[in-house]
Structures are given as structure tokens and as C-alpha cells.
Chains A and B, each alone.
Chain A
């Protein structure tokens, strides 16, 4: 999976608890992304980062925060998990953003999160 590690791979948690998902890359790519994938919705962008400490919101960012203190690590935090956040979460990286071949994305294996 192109040097991308997501942890944990599976997590079950309770409503109202905080959850942090980690994405680690060894490719030294500038851009990192967090998506969620749900039946009937496909992949939707939560947040992305275009450099250390540089992040921005995606389509479905409510209830999520992110941090990137090092090039290789991108953390996704659910401050207070809700059942609607039960999903499969994917991290992706790309060499660059914007248009073109630099925006080809490489995905991790995903984290399956269940919020009970």
C-alpha cells in the first residue's frame, strides 16, 4: 500500500468517546487526505493537509479535526464519536495537489470504525 500505514485497522468505541486515527507514510509526499467511505455515498473527503501544520476542510468535516506535526504523520480525531461516524476511514497521500499527475492518490488499507 505504497508505504502508508493506518492504525488501528479496526476499532469499536462508544458514543461520546474521543477517537484518534493515525496515518503514517514513508513516501515523503506533501499532501495527505482523510476520507470516509459509506454505502451509497462513496468516498468523501473529510480533511486534507498540504504541508506540516497546513490543513483544510473537505466536504464532510463537521465533528472531525486533524493535525499534522510531521510530514509523515496525519492524525484524524473524532472529538466525541457519534453513531453517524461509523464508517471505513481511508488515508491517502499524493505528491502534490491541484490538477494533474501529482494528484494521483495512494491509499492506505483503511480503518473500520464502529461507534456503538
Chain B
């Protein structure tokens, strides 16, 4: 069966450390993978998109990797801050399914303690 899994429901880290979130998928062949941030009571907000032929993408303190052999994406936040506390969602396209609509993981809730 097809699955997209974010390996931790919750991740607690200390301010200043690097947060690493994992997104694994099974039986999909995505060409693109996206990461979103969701704050309580708000809709998800797009952060980064990475293509299958890109190993790594950076944006300020954020870094995403995409390994199509391992079927995994890693999302890193360096020098984390309490303001980074939120739920982070990964999403991949499902072109083999319904016209490339995004399939979302359940999210990882990140808490950064001062």
C-alpha cells in the first residue's frame, strides 16, 4: 500500500540546536516533495520544494534533502528558535494517482525550548 510517514509525531529540542525531521514514503514515485509549516489554528504555509534530481535545497536556516533511493526527505532547521515551534508537514505529488495532487504526511510537531 502507499504510505507517507513522518517518523515522529513530536520532537522536542533545545534552542540553538539543529532540528531534523524525517519524511519517508512507500510505493510512490514523486518528482517533487514539498514542506509546509502549520501553526495552531492556521492553514499550512509553504516553505520549500525540492525536485527529485536535487539532492539538497536551502533557504536561510532551512535545509531539505531528497533521496529517491532511500525514499526519504530530511528537513533541517539550524540554530533553532522558539519561534520555529510549529507542526511541519511534508507533501509529495502523486502523479500516478489523481492528476498529481499532493499527498500530505500527518506532520511532526516541533517544540523548541528556550
Q: Which residue numbers of A lie inside 8 Å of B, CB to CB?
A: 1, 4, 33, 40-45, 48, 50, 56-58, 90, 92, 97-101, 103-110
Task: Report the minimal beta-carbon distance from B37 to chain A, rounded to whole angstroms.
Answer: 11
Determine if A97 and B101 form an interchain contact, defined as CB atoms under 8 angstroms apart: yes
Q: Write the residues of chain B forming the contact surface with A, with a CB cutoff of 8 angstroms.
A: 31-32, 34, 41-46, 49, 51, 89, 93, 95, 98-102, 104-107
* Complex: A37 Cα to B89 Cα, angstroms: 12
Q: Which A residues touch B98, using CB under 8 A?
A: 45, 56-58
Instruction: Report the minimum CB–CB distance from B3 to chain A (whole Å).
Output: 12
Measured CB to CB, the closest approach of chain B to A67, in angstroms, equals 19
- Whether the Cβ atoms of B100 and A98 lie closer than 8 Å is yes
The main secondary structure of chain B at its interface with chain A is loop
* Distance of A115 Cα from B43 Cα, bound (Å): 21
Q: Across the interface, which residues of A come within 8 angstroms of B105, CB to CB?
A: 42
Of the candidates A50, A99, A103, A107, the one whose C-beta lies within 8 Å of that of B44 is A107
- Do the beta carbons of A106 and B46 come within 8 Å of each other? yes
Inter-chain CA distance A40–B93, complex, in Å, is: 21
Closest to B93 in A: A99
- Among A45, A48, A56, find the residue whose CB has the most chain B CB atoms closer than 10 A: A45
Residue of B with least CB distance to A104: B46
Contact between B34 and A41, CB atoms less than 8 A apart: no
Residue of A nearest to B87 (CB): A42
Residues of B within 8 A of A43 (CB): 44, 89, 104
Q: Given the complex of chains A and B, what is the CA–CA distance between A42 and B102 in angstroms?
A: 12
Neighbouring B residues of A58 by C-beta, 8 Å: 98, 101
Residue from B32, B43, B93, B102 with most neighbouring chain A CB atoms (10 Å)? B43
Known contacts A41-B106, A42-B106; is A99 also within 8 Å of B46 by CB?
A: no
